[in-house]
Structure 1
């Protein structure tokens, strides 16, 4: 495949640090790159040989190994390699080999040196990139706390855009946080300056508050670096403020991130964002099993794996909503699309159906509802095309029951809490795992807070929810055995979902209700319950360890099935485990059962 200079220029615009160059400099640099195709397994450059320069992956994947053949890294779309930090006196200290058919851009050593000399951003990027490769730093496992700039520059909403421009120039930054009293109100970027001030001819004394982006998307410092990357790619933003307990504590921009080790999931998100149909997205989501195998094989913790996989589902949902509005026009009233179930909790694995709903503004008319039914069918059909099959229980926005105005949703939760019959308990269990995906998030914020307050104060409702949660029990048999399924397709197997993970998920939901905790992720709920005193430190430690053991076993089982060319599921033959593994897994089930009993008796819930 021959690439034109224009194609290379467009590609470089999407990759840091090349995106920091002025247009003329970028065009010149693009002309210095050459494109070469490498067949899977072919060597790009060899250890202990003269290094041919800097490489950039346009398509495909590359494995880098050291002089002993040990893997240094697996690289994919937009990753650079071969830079001078991996050289010794001009000789390569690694070997790069194409893992699949790849198209690679190359910049010769002299051109690379000129690039570094001309660009401070390039020098900073490749200096840091070398350090990360040396220490095997993983973006997927890094917390935002370790990546963010801890002293973000701020201005007040009544400051002039002239003053803001001077601040950005003096500090050589591309954005300012806008706040008052330590609270974030908005964000101002150089793009805002160009598109809103210069392009519209606004005067220099225009207040920042008039052009800033209000209520920007934020993340907490406990989020993952990959969360930032996925948010930037899926929402097409380049700056993410970091907020803790309502206070601004940091800022992350595109220049603060690399795609090392997160490239596979980032690549999927990139293709989903550019897709023009559900069929195109289905080609991307078909690679989710491979993503799961890669993430599990790389030693990522289960909560990292499931979060990255869920991010793909979120990106598909967002893109389908965009395509729906392109086809049907803008929504007649504000709405909010929410996910529940495993997507809501950000706990999707290789086996997931869809669970979703719509909250509509109270001004919605009967005529407006026809629009939202078309939108819901478009999105749910698209999700099904992408492998997120229709919910067997019809818990989807296509069901008119789950596509209602906010006032109806308030009535739903009020009825479930005040009259907790079996159906209400089941529905509340699903709907207390709601997470906003796209739309007007204010439609859910007040509802969530009011519902948690009401639920926590109703001891009868909590007791019913507790009893409902105990219906899923760990598979423990007599005489230190494991109780397997007695008949049917999965006879003599363990159900690692309903008898393994779900009991812990149910306990986490109960602790969240009792403690008015807004997190929906199960592990986060348990950690927050322990921090808030709703769960004893020892109980939390044991339960988290047990949950990790069960969830890791489930993911490793799914990865093993995928590698065998089979569809992943949630079942496991105990005989496939070693004696030690069976013993540890049983111990984990015992912990869960003990915590269930303690919670049912009123012990272990309060420390």
Structure 2
């Protein structure tokens, strides 16, 4: 029998079911059932088949793993069970009632139908699905992302000759006609040719006499594919974007071409061909727009950050080439390396530069000024491109980080032998080094030797683990999320230092323990599972938690960019639904659990 009216109203108030049309909501209510359970009841255990999604109406449910470690406590408006359902696997968690509960049960086939048939439901339950190949194109982008805002306009009374002069002055193929905030029509080069040059219209006549009145238009919610289809079907090259009678922008064939070319590959090509840092900066200024596009077309976070980092790598190599052209060939072999987020290929919407130079042991004191000049040239160029100077001076311009290989070897040996707080910090940074440009043989053997020595030093490893635990997930005492307490980011979540960094630190520890050479966090976790440093189940949970945290961070940065704000790493938790907050907290609990295992000295394999 259908849900009672009171429970149906409750279901209608819970996201994402509140987005369902009335008919779909009524249909859902007719197939759901109501279940009551007493404190102490086990709803499902590890290995059980899960057949329903559970939506809590009242009471409290504890979720634990197979070792009885508490992962979360869920209250009204939260749901559980979707993990096993979406994976099509038996339960890997235990759900126990800790306070008398009432739940709405959604049958698994019904949940899958909702995901397939309703975008808002899919967004919540299917958000970590890799995008389909046909999703990853500019055609699915909102038209507002590619339209030319504030197009050139003139009044209906403007002489045709002046309208033509405007088009020539701005090097555009159309002028929009408007008056007192009202869009009236459009004049294109085709109109000028057909109606003036061929048709003989008087150039001094008002432009309204040759304009196309009420042209084909689209609203701001249209997609790029709508514009494309309209242009192809009607044989036009200009589509005004209008809301009511107000002109918001215009999309031309040039805009479409630019959107199709707006890819990391295009930005890499343009950076690689730039003749100076200023030219590169004009390209890297488009990275925020690229970030938004990559997120909105469904790319996974590790793909997004990899593509964005590729642009920084290309800029660095181009600046190195320009430096050599300016200062002459290098007097000795060298290698430019990146650390930090660039070293891990994890750059996003906010990034400074962290880099260093390893020089051949053949370099002489007389040759060192050359590399000081090269480092300054490249670092200044990167700053011009938006990769601002490192506040901690972790750059090749610092003589400490521009040294022959034997000095670098002594650095690592010293940090490992005497793991002081500074040594731990520096080692953490330098274990993320990745070659960018120059002689890669200067690092390969040194990296391998360093990992081998470090992994066998239990005292150093213990200090590195302790250092990594300084970054704790933002979990509150009362089962909530701990936000920043003061300052400009008060009441917000720090998704970098409290979210992403704890996983980055764990990945670095696993790489150290397994002598694994990848620097990318996602790649490190996968390599750790393969090398049996990390258990398949624990590794899968940690990767899933990392994916959710990192994706949430990037999605919030994309939102900030679209709102015209400078992206940062701080999220207002009130912007999330109950569902999103619950799952984000679960992800933090997984990270905390893995930290506890590392800190207690327990083997990751359990």
Question: Normalization by structure 2: what TM-score?
Answer: 0.60
What is residue 440 of structure 1 aligned with on the other side? 439
Are the counterparts in 1 of residues 237 and 253 from structure 2 also a CA contact under 8 Å? no
Q: 1:357 and 1:104, CA in 2 relative to 1: closer, same or farther beyond 3 A? A: closer
Q: What's the counterpart of residue 119 of structure 1?
A: none
> Within 2, Cα distance between the matches of 1:480 and 1:468?
26
| 1:499-534 deviation per Cα after TM superposition (whole angstroms, max 9, x unaligned) | 000000000000000001100000000011011110
1:178-577 to structure 2, matched below 5 A, reads 263-577=262-576
Q: Is the 8 A contact 1:456 1:516 kept in 2?
A: yes
Alignment RMSD (CA, Å) = 3.0
CA distance in 1, matches of 2:251, 2:271: 21
CA deviations on 1:352-377 (whole Å, 9 max, x unpaired) are 00000000000101111000000000
Which stretches of structure 1, 4 residues or more, deviate above 4 A after TM superposition?
36-44, 69-74, 91-106, 259-263
User: Matches of 2:310 and 2:318 in 1, distance apart?
Assistant: 12
Conservation of the 8 A alpha-carbon contact between 2:237 and 2:252: no
Taking the aligned partners of 2:413 and 2:261, their CA distance within structure 1 comes to 42
How is 1:132-151 mapped onto 2 (pairs within 5 angstroms)?
none
Distance 1:305 1:490 in 2: 25
Cα deviation for residue 459 of structure 1 reads 1.0
CA contact (8 A) 2:238 2:253 kept: no
8 Å Cα contact 2:553/2:569 also seen in 1: yes
Instruction: State the number of aligned residues.
Output: 386
**Is the 1:475–1:494 Cα contact (8 Å) retained in structure 2?**
yes
Give the match's secondary structure for 1:362: coil
- What is the rounded CA distance, in whole Å, between the counterparts of 2:544 and 2:371 in structure 1? 43
Do the aligned partners of 1:561 and 1:568 also contact (CA within 8 Å) in 2? yes
Partner of 2:588: 589
CA deviations on 1:388-435 (whole Å, 9 max, x unpaired) are 000000000000000000000000000011111100000000000000
Counterpart-to-counterpart distance in 2, 1:484 and 1:556: 19
Summarize deviations over 1:326-380 as a string: whole Å, max 9, x none. 1000000000000000000000001000000000000101111000000000000
Alpha-carbon shift at residue 299 of structure 1 (Å): 1.1
Deviation at 1:603, TM superposition (A): 2.6
Q: For residues 292-326 of structure 1, what are the alpha-carbon distances to aligned partners after superposition, in whole Å with 9 as ceiling and x for unaligned?
A: 11111111110011011101111110111111011
Mark the CA change 1:580 to 1:410 in structure 2 (over 3 Å): closer, same or farther. Answer: same
For 2:175 and 2:292, the matched residues in 1 are separated by 19
Over alpha carbons, which structure has the higher Rg?
Answer: 2
Distance 1:420 1:93, change over 3 A: farther
Partner of 1:605: 604
**Paired residues of 1:364 and 1:405 also in contact (CA < 8 A):** yes
What is the distance in 2 between the residues matched to 1:500 and 1:40? Answer: 49
Aligned-partner SS, 2:263: helix
Contact kept? 1:37, 1:104, Cα under 8 Å: no
Whether contact under 8 Å (1:40, 1:102) holds in the other structure is no
Residue 93 of structure 1 deviates from its aligned partner by 11
Distance 1:443 1:105 in 2: 45
Once the two structures are superposed, residues 554-583 of structure 1 have per-residue CA deviations (whole angstroms, 9 ceiling, x without a partner) of 001101111111100000111111111111
Other structure's SS at 1:446 match = helix
Q: 2:226 & 2:540 partners in 1: Cα distance?
A: 33
CA distance in structure 2 between the partners assigned to 1:43 and 1:269 by the alignment: 36
User: Aligned equivalents of 2:553 and 2:469: distance in 1?
Assistant: 21
Quickly say closer, same or farther: Cα 1:39–1:375, change in 2 above 3 A. farther
- Alpha carbons of 1:260 and 1:283: their partners in 2 closer, same or farther (altered >3 Å)? closer
Secondary structure of the residue aligned to 1:359 is strand
Q: Supply the distance in 1 between the matched residues of 2:439 and 2:466 (Cα, whole angstroms).
A: 35
The CA deviation at 1:606 is 3.1
| Residues 536 and 604, structure 1, Cα contact 8 Å, conserved in 2 | no
Residues 450, 559 of structure 1: CA spacing in aligned structure 2 closer, same or farther, 3 A cutoff?
same
Structure 1 stretches lacking a partner, 5+ long: 1-35, 45-64, 75-80, 107-258
- Alpha-carbon contact 1:271-1:281 (below 8 Å) kept: yes
CA contact (8 A) 2:455 2:512 kept: yes
Q: Which protein, 1 or 2, shows the higher relative CO under an 8 Å CA cutoff with sep ≥ 6?
A: 2
SS for the counterpart of 1:389 is: coil
SS in 2 for 1:489: coil
The 5 A counterparts of 1:100-115 are: 100=251, 103=254
TM-score of the aligned structures, taking structure 1 as reference length: 0.60
Report the CA distance shift for 1:94/1:586 in structure 2 as closer, same or farther (over 3 A): farther
Change (3 A) 1:349 1:479: same
Question: Quick one: structure 1 residues 37 and 267, their matched pair in 2 at CA, closer, same or farther if it must change by over 3 Å?
Answer: farther
Residue pair 1:494, 1:571 contacting (<8 A) in 2 also: yes
**How many angstroms does 1:73 deviate by?**
9.9
- Post-superposition offset of 1:479: 1.8
| Residue matched to 1:240 | none
Tell me how far apart the structure 1 counterparts of residues 369 and 293 of structure 2 sit (CA, whole Å). Answer: 43
Tell which deviates more after alignment, 577-586 or 498-507. Answer: 577-586
Q: Taking structure 1 as reference, are residues 43 and 92 closer, same or farther at Cα in structure 2, changes over 3 Å only?
A: farther
